[in-house]
Chains A and B, each alone.
Chain A
């Protein structure tokens, strides 16, 4: 079955979520990935969103488009105040945190604040929201984004959400004692970070993608394995579930 980039991202991300864990997700692709995981291999995955929902259950066709609207709270087990939701994250309860971003650098740092010079931005973006908190507090961070040269940059215009900062143990040195940026999921590849340098590296290619495509769409040098593994494309069942969840294709593209 043919599929869009968003469907590919959601399916790839969902496979990385283990059952019985807790995922801090945002609306859009992260929520679709989490809901898909619950519908397939991870029925006991608990979805938390920053508007203050624990145990979100997506009703097919009624995807929330903000994390704090009634649709998100439906059938939740708890609707804590927003500050409390983040404090649960800071306490260390949440296994996964999902992030996207306008710019990602080789160390998994993310910019959602501005493009251009800080004093006179060319584009003012909406801002951190909970992104800076999620990346600082969750145990494993999964970055999900389309793979474009303008997004994968050597230097961010602004560092909103700290990944591994300058690499090595810089994250720990800054006082961020917990959490790892484990994966970057794109429509071209699955990437991870070198165990010591913490610089981004290619792990696997999406179906039908060649190494050169990844290179062309990444604005920095990426360590490449000799023979990267290949991810299997989304299955018909995964696509059917995603399309059932989002029949209006609000987020599936």
Chain B
């Protein structure tokens, strides 16, 4: 993946209509904004606020040759690998979660060379999105100095022009598409996030096309009442989709806890059966259910309510 330069990203941005118009659309319409070969940056972090509804729809559109980037990648990476949708993953870490150990599927695809995994430190990932969000070509950091990550990536070192000290320079990321799930947005794309902000605001500012799913679409008046909560402004957004439980079975802060039983069951099955388990999961949860509602029905209402109740208890 070469990606846009900061000049190209700026020129492209100037051609876009991000005016305060109604950007609401369906999940399939939003997913159609993703083209084969795109670099798709995924918001949230690990199993928190993963834009599952949108990712599911992108998979249903059978996209190919995607580059995926995310600061910490959970099993959505495996779904894209096994679906044949991605050839390259840019991240600082990929697995399902600590208690579940190494991912057999990631091992198979990366060790076998079918998917290229480009590893950066966690801060380096953040600074790469931040540089994109700032419209500059790189940012300096002390991270990755002395690390072999420096030699395995496109990071460079230079002597600081002011102090002479050694610096690591990480290049900006300008994703073709940024996909994120937020708590609430208005129809123009003014988006508010509760709890962990993760890297979503930077990804939204850096990406050429931004798809938002939201737990609820609210009136702009409600956004205005708590403007300090707005993390992403309308002018960074192209598509807004209402998707309650849009991160499920991952968590959405304050609203529902991650369904660790489901994630654990998935992880155990992958450990036992490898790629076949992911293939079956794709059939059961991605290709099978035609709509996101049908997908949620597979979990069942009692499960969704249980996870909502768990979140409520935690927020007390």
Contacts and interface: CB of A to CB of B under 8 A. Distances in A.
Give chain A's interface secondary structure class. loop
A87 interface: yes
A130 B45 contact: no
Interface stretch (A71-79, A210-218, A232-240): A71-79
Nearest to A178: B142
Contacts of B71: 82
Contacts of B103: 126
A250 B201 CA distance: 33
Given A128-B119, A129-B93, A132-B149, A70 B143 contact: no
A20 B58 CA distance: 48
A60 to B, nearest CB: 14
A113 B142 CA distance: 19
A162 B198 contact: no
Contacts of A153: none
A37 B107 CA distance: 37
Contacts of A27: 98
B121 interface: yes
Nearest to B166: A175
A51 B48 contact: yes
Contacts of A162: 145-147
A52 B197 contact: yes
B87 to A, nearest CB: 16
A50 B123 CA distance: 10
Interface in A110-164: 113, 118, 120-133, 136-137, 158-162
A40 interface: no
Nearest to A66: B46
B99 A175 contact: no
B106 interface: yes
A127 B93 CA distance: 5
Chain B interface bracket (under 10, 10 to 19, 20 to 34, 35 or more): 35 or more
A117 to B, nearest CB: 11
Contact of A132 (B46, B129, B144): B144
B28 interface: no
B72 interface: yes
A31 B205 CA distance: 33
Interface string A66-100: 10111101100001111100110110000000000
A199 interface: no
A162 to B, nearest CB: 3
B117 A128 contact: no
B210 to A, nearest CB: 17
Nearest to B122: A130
A129 B72 CA distance: 7
B97 interface: yes
A66 B102 contact: no
A33 B113 CA distance: 38
B130 interface: yes
A83 B145 contact: no
B99 A250 contact: yes
Interface stretch (B7-15, B250-258, B277-285, B294-302): B250-258
23 contacts: A51-B45, A52-B198, A66-B97, A68-B45, A68-B198, A69-B257, A74-B315, A79-B196, A81-B126, A83-B199, A89-B123, A90-B141, A90-B143, A113-B148, A127-B91, A128-B149, A132-B147, A133-B143, A159-B147, A160-B147, A175-B146, A175-B157, A175-B165
Interface of A: 27-28, 50-52, 62, 65-66, 68-71, 73-74, 79-83, 86-87, 89-90, 113, 118, 120-133, 136-137, 158-162, 165, 170-171, 174-178, 250-251
Interface of B: 45-48, 71-72, 91-95, 97-99, 102-103, 106-107, 110-111, 113, 117, 119-124, 126-127, 129-130, 141-149, 152, 157, 165-168, 195-199, 201-202, 251, 253-254, 257-258, 260, 311, 314-315
